[in-house]
Amino acid sequence: MASIRSLAFVGAVGGAGTTRTAVECAAALARDGREVVVLDAAYATQGLGEFVPGRIDPDITALCLDPQRPLADGLYDLDAAVDGRVALAPAQAPFERVARATGDDAAQALADRVAEAVAGFDHVLLDVPPVAANPAIAAVHAVDRVAIVAPDTEHGADGRRRQHDVLRDIDAPDGDPASVGVAVSGPDERDDGTGNGGDEPGTDATIPHGPGEFTAAPACLGTDAFAAGVVAATETLFETQVSVEFEDGGVIGRLSAGVDRVRGGE
C-alpha cells in the first residue's frame, strides 16, 4: 500500500501538543531522507513559529492572501540533523491579517497551498487547532488523512470525541480519523509503566512523554525510547516504514516503547 502523502494533525483540545507532534513526525520522516513540509493552520496560537529563529516574512497567512506568490517564499528550514529536509510554513501575523486570512477565499487558498506542497514534497503535514474556523475546515478537507491529537487525560478523551463529531458533521475525508495519544507530563493512573499512557481506547498511535522544556530541535533524533515511539507512531499514521536504527533493535524495540504499529490495534 502506498504511504500517506498528506496528513492534518488536529488538536482535540487547546494545548494538546499538536504542533510538537507535527514537527516530531516530520523530523522522523526526514531521518529517512524524505522531503517534508509542515504548514501552519493554527493562525491564532502561531506555535509553529517558535521553531523558526529570526524574522518570518512572509508567513502562511500572507501567502494565502497573495495566492500568486510561490509557497517557497514562506518556507523556513528546520535546523535539524536529518538526511532529508523539514520545511516549515508558520503563521506569524498581526490580528488584522489573521482575521482576513480566515475568510472564505483565503481558506481556499490554504487548500491550494496544500496541493502545491504535495507536488513538491514527499509528505505534507498540517498543524490544525480544534476545528471551528475556515482555515481548519479547509485544512482537513485538503489532506489524505486526519489524525486527532489528544493528551492522555479524560479531558483529552472528551475532546477527541467532540472532534470526531465535528469532522463527521463537516464531511471531512476519512470518516474514521486516526487518533494520536500524547503522553501527559508524568505517569497517571492509566499509565502502563512506560510513560506512554497505557492502552487508551480508540488510540491508533501514541507519542511518548518527551522533554519537559521547549526546544526548537526535534527530540526524536536520538535513539532512545522517545525517538523510537515517535518513529513507530509515524509509521502507523503514514502507513510507511521509516528506516532508522535504534539501540534496542528494530521493530521489537519500537513496540516495547509502547506503540502499536497496527492501525486501530487490529
- Residue range 21-40, pLDDT digits in tens: 999 999 999 999 999 999 99
Which are the contacts of 65, defined by CB distance < 8 A and separation ≥ 6?
Answer: 97, 100, 101, 106, 109
C-alpha cell at 98: 489573521
* Whether pLDDT at 252 is above 60: no
| Amino acid 253: pLDDT | 42
Nearest to 10 by CA among 135, 123, 115: 135
CA angle 173, 135, 145 (to 5 degrees): 25
Residue 38 forms beta bridges with which residues?
Answer: 88, 125
Instruction: Name the band, by pLDDT with cuts 50, 70 and 90, for residue 264.
Output: very low
Mean pLDDT of 126-148: 96
Instruction: Name the band, by pLDDT with cuts 50, 70 and 90, for residue 246.
Output: confident
Range of the domain at 215: 6-265
| Amino acid 180: pLDDT | 83
Q: Is residue 1 part of a domain?
A: no
Q: How many domains does the chain have?
A: 1
Mean pLDDT of 85-101: 97
Q: Is residue 200 part of a domain?
A: yes
Which are the contacts of 104, defined by CB distance < 8 A and separation ≥ 6?
Answer: 134
Quote the CA–CA distance of 128 and 87 in Å, as a whole number: 17
Mean pLDDT of 197-204: 58
DSSP 154-195: HHHHHHHHHHHHHHHHTT-SSSS-EEEEE--SS--TT--SSS
* Whether pLDDT at 262 is above 50: no
Instruction: Name the band, by pLDDT with cuts 50, 70 and 90, for residue 187.
Output: very low
| Amino acid 198: pLDDT | 41
Q: CATH number of the domain that 142 lies in? A: 3.40.50.300
Cis, bond preceding 201 (omega within 30 deg of 0): no
Question: How many helices and strands in the chain, by DSSP H and E?
Answer: 8, 8
Record the pTM: 0.86
